[in-house]
Structure 1
Amino acid sequence: MPTPAVSMNDARSASRGTGNSRSATSPSHVTAMTMPMAPYLTDGEDQRIDMLDRLIGSIYDGPIESTPWQTAMQLLREQLNAAHVTLMLRPPSTDSAGVMLNTGSTTTQTVQSYETHFFAMDPFVRLPEGEVVAAEELIGKQWLQSTVYLDFLKPLNIRHLLGADINTRDGIECRLRVTRLHGSEPFSAEDKALCRLLLPHLKRSIQLHARLDFLECERAMFAGAVNRMQLGTISIDQNGNIIESNQEARRILGEKDGIWLAGNNLCVDSALESRQLQQMIRHCVTNACAADGPGVVEAMSVSRPSGRAKLGILVRAIPLGPYSESKQRPAAAVFLRDPEASAAQPSQELVRRLFGLTRMEASLALLLTEGYTLDEAAEKMNVRRNTARTHLRSIFCKTGVTRQTMLVRLLLNSVLSLG
């Protein structure tokens, strides 16, 4: 039995709310408002409430789906008996193909033809904020003579088009489009009322997605910088379980030279060092759970059976935030440093641009940073020692240092390691 459609009055009432301060567009509003009345609802009304609850819930779950809002768009497509529901997160433009999320039968060729050609001819854009309109309502009978309809939609057997635009204060512009095939009924007032009811929720969900996307970009940027600095990181929750580790940490643990991973626990060869590490982790985790406690930082070194230089380990507490509630959040971070790790060599071009050096000067500076003496560097560069000394004096002049040790420190402390 198909779920009954939402009436225009129901949608308007739900979207406008009542005179109290409680928002009528919160995800649980429909359920919360109707739960006490459940014994008095008819079967049709009960189905309608359940449908709205699933739709609104799926909209707010959308930002954390692998393909955002896929469930919500599929539910809306089924409810409206639509051929397609499309959400343009970033509408196509002359500069970009944009980002379009589709449900229904589509082909790569169809999407590409719109992204590269037909978007520029589409008159069904810049709709009034919050309004849901059919193409013929907006454009009139000439819609069926438009290039987009005749050359793009009609060959796809699409007859009816319903749309709404979503714009936010921070410049987000999204488009919601719903289609029906030839032979289908036009979209009704109830269909448009349902979409209008969902728009405020979708707008809020899109804003949440934008915030999450910003945080993920920031996280990826800093994670990449830490990786390039050859610093291993491991995050641990308040139960002592490992949540996440970066590429360098996995490399160190994978060598199983003094420290390794057994299940979800860090293991150390030396029993004494193992007890010390576990005690440090417990101390930091306990401190992190005390929201008003000072941040704790502890350090130690771990011997390696291979005889290589000891690994450096630092454990830092990550205190709870004022509104933290999840037990799965990081409570402590373990940092690993392998003193013998081979860091990626900065390019000569970066050194040249950063300090205004010539190519020969940049090459010499990098060799000195790697620990070579001036004579060894001259030999590697296949130049005379006096030539290398001339280059070195020029480097001193351009960088403002007076000794090789100062030059090496300057390069190591610069942004080169992030390149």
Structure 2
Amino acid sequence: MGLESTALADAVRRLYAEVAAPGAGGIDLNVLRECIGAEHVVMTSRHDGDTAWRACTQFGQVEERELGQWLTMADHESLVRLTASGLPVRTSTFLSRRAMASTELYQEVLRPLNGGLAAVSYWREHDGWRGLSYCRSLESGHDFREDELASIQALVPHLRTIEQLHAQLRQRTRASVDAAHDMLNLAPQAVLLLDAAGRVVFLNRSASALLARPGCGLRADREGLRARDAAEDRRLQQAVRLAAELAPESRRAALSDGAVAAQGLPVTIRRALPLRPLILSIVPAASLSAQAEFGSARVAVMVHNAGTDGTIATARLVEAYGLTAREAELAVLLGKGEDLAGAAGLMALSAGTARQYLKQIFAKLGVQRQAELVRLLVASFPQE
């Protein structure tokens, strides 16, 4: 008999659970390694003329290339024939331990990987084949027992089903990603999605057009999304790191009430005159439900033209001049031509409170008259 039925059932349960996990890559080879008791597990597949390797533990891309040079396609085809219908075999049955130890393949590739003893199981698929090699150290002398081979064989039907499920999930994910692309490309607002390192993983058509404009103030290259001004770039990178590190709930708690919280963490990017500055609202990608369709996306950047509406202008004033949300709201109304009494009425403020806010605005912006305030706002938000 193979493994205890409870252990085998637990391994099967974990395999099916992993295939549906976000970012899953199909069969979880570590589950197989732990279940059978192997040093590492190698999966080889050939479909439509292409051969692919995947392995867990002690096995990197360099070793994959080296092993691919040693094992020819004829070797794989022989193993496919030997292990028909998923029936596993020990490699020691057709190459003794002593003979294996003398091969260059063992000395150059398998020995450094603690390999040399293997139980292999291949099965055919409609457009090729797939194989698994469970490997142990030749020096340990612990070859695979009959009950372990029986357990490997018992797993094969489940592994075939899991690969079929994973292929179906990939198709659905691709359709979901395409739909997300289409949705973001229809947005008139520029939207960029960044990974945890700040590199761009997606930008919609509006963002592409914006970055292509002369005097944009932003660039996107291999380093990520960067501001051309050094001071602005430092603030941008800090905001991206914060959004990448914190969950949406924590980010919202870290922001103050009012326009800034509504817009996300704002970063102002100046552009060549007469273009208005840009306001970048930087939030975790999960807050846009973008992470499921863009697996590596951690940060969403939404770009606004400063001054196109009162909320954005308010965020600009809060960030640039240290105004409170209410002070900034009053300043925007005055900049749009309201007198103090009219602005106070719109904000439901008493005349005394409005005058106190105006005094604080003057002090923070370094002006002494309302006319100077209006001129400063117009200069800060020039018309395009």
* TM class, shorter-length: 0.3 to 0.5
TM-score (norm 2): 0.43
TM-score (norm 1): 0.40
